[in-house]
Structure 1
């Protein structure tokens, strides 16, 4: 019989092995603050792995540090408080039509580069978002590829051309017009794509970010199930954060953007072996 003091409780107790080797709380929290200083964001999972402690331990540290005003907790981690971070944090997702107009020349140029990567008879995964939609318009000239997307806008645009376009089942997410939820994730997890084009709300040394928990799950499916992972991200999104960290830089193979990253972001991309393809908006004519 197990005594009350021996009853397992993941919210209260930790493994003996962790307790024996755990760093003092002051050192753990100093590590967290140092990571925030460097990148503006920390991931619970990454810090827990680096310090060989449980994620619950790190979450408690984040709660304490937030109480002291030294960080702001987000889904899966924390960011530096406003006014102290070199990175910008975007809390609200702009309307799709607004995003489509922003930096449109850069997105058109990025789409030109993205199309050049495609061959015949490939299976292509396309994310939601304005950059993906601009790319989809270019794909109408490529009848021999199969398109898989969770964007109803992309599917409608390409479906008019009677191409092979596939949507997952599931729930529809509001203004973004995206398919999401467990059914959509499960269906696309059964497939394998030659290449995936993924959008982002922001890009930092820590990885790339999105506004939506639901859409982020499908982005991760594309990362897991694609031979080649390409991030479409214009330079206006460099050093910006939003609610969800989708993945680290080492999860992508290529970044297509309109201006070369610089400083620590450039160093982090190089360290992660991310190929950078530059798109020149000046070459796009109306």
Structure 2
């Protein structure tokens, strides 16, 4: 039984890595994957068949390509490994916006999870209250002192590892927050922050409406992504926090579209976040 469990876990980890490769490259080869994971071609074919049955890829002769649905919304575990340096830099800069005693609404994005684990310490007498629809975020912070955690509950979106729907929205509507800290599926200087579907957009729109200040956390790769729907224009946010991977043209577009653009340097760049607006 233990051997079988180990086999299942190894297979699932392989499949997550295959999806990461597809997100980055767009296509994979059976032969190359078999060499990488030191398994047989038949083992990789079984992995690809399982992912194809779940609608996450399309089989091709000798490999697979990413399905259209997977391009819209990749599983949380896959997204968590993408652009990790940029996400950590953004999270570090955004965490400095939060103070003890604040009530913060945080979404279920992978960038928001990086932010949550970097929240500043707070005394038990003046904790930071975190309200989130993220499953992983609540689990990750469950044992941390100085935080008061509130989960929205609701309908579980397994792909996004989050709660959505009317129950989650009803929970959020009861609160008044100091800050909303949100990410997005896609970033468009003209249309704003976009999401993979209406249920995710509705949660983020509601978090914005109940918060005094709102901050969008988006790594520069989001400018290349596409969204199904948009939940807020960029000037709706108090601050837009991005990494330093922007070219000058894109940076200029964002500066013209936002109230305040905060550039968070990745580890290879300067050690601290900079604010182009001088604020």
Q: TM-score range by the shorter chain?
A: 0.5 to 0.7
1:134 paired with 2:114, answer yes
Among residues 214, 217, 233, which one is paired with 1:248 in the alignment?
233
Among residues 223, 228, 236, which one is paired with 2:221 in the alignment?
236
**Higher relative contact order by CA 8 Å / sep ≥ 6: 1 or 2?**
1
1:185 paired with 2:175, answer no
1:227 paired with 2:212, answer yes
1:193-232: CA deviations, max 9, x gaps?
A: 1011101111112111111321211100111111111000
| 91-100 or 185-194: bigger deviation | 91-100
1:140 shift after superposition: 7.1
Taking the aligned partners of 1:277 and 1:271, their CA distance within structure 2 comes to: 13
Among residues 101, 109, 125, which one is paired with 1:121 in the alignment?
101
Task: Show the counterpart of 2:131.
Answer: 148
Taking the aligned partners of 1:112 and 1:248, their CA distance within structure 2 comes to: 24
Task: Show the counterpart of 2:203.
Answer: 218
1:235 shift after superposition: 0.5
Task: Show the counterpart of 1:36.
Answer: none
Shift in CA distance, 207/262, structure 1 to aligned 2, threshold 3 Å: farther
**SS of 1:281 mapped into structure 2:** coil
1:179 shift after superposition: 1.2
Taking the aligned partners of 2:103 and 2:259, their CA distance within structure 1 comes to: 22
Shift in CA distance, 212/141, structure 1 to aligned 2, threshold 3 Å: farther
Q: Note the residue ranges of structure 1 that are not aligned, 5 or more in a row.
A: 1-88
Shift in CA distance, 265/105, structure 1 to aligned 2, threshold 3 Å: closer
**8 Å contact 1:90–1:241 — kept in the other structure?**
no
1:265 shift after superposition: 6.9
1:40-61: CA deviations, max 9, x gaps?
A: xxxxxxxxxxxxxxxxxxxxxx
The TM-score normalised by the length of structure 1 is 0.63
Task: Show the counterpart of 1:53.
Answer: none
Taking the aligned partners of 1:227 and 1:272, their CA distance within structure 2 comes to: 20
Shift in CA distance, 265/111, structure 1 to aligned 2, threshold 3 Å: closer
CA RMSD of aligned residues (A): 2.3
The TM-score normalised by the length of structure 2 is 0.64
How many pairs are equivalent? 196
Shift in CA distance, 253/140, structure 1 to aligned 2, threshold 3 Å: closer
Q: Note the residue ranges of structure 2 that are not aligned, 5 or more in a row.
A: 1-68, 272-279
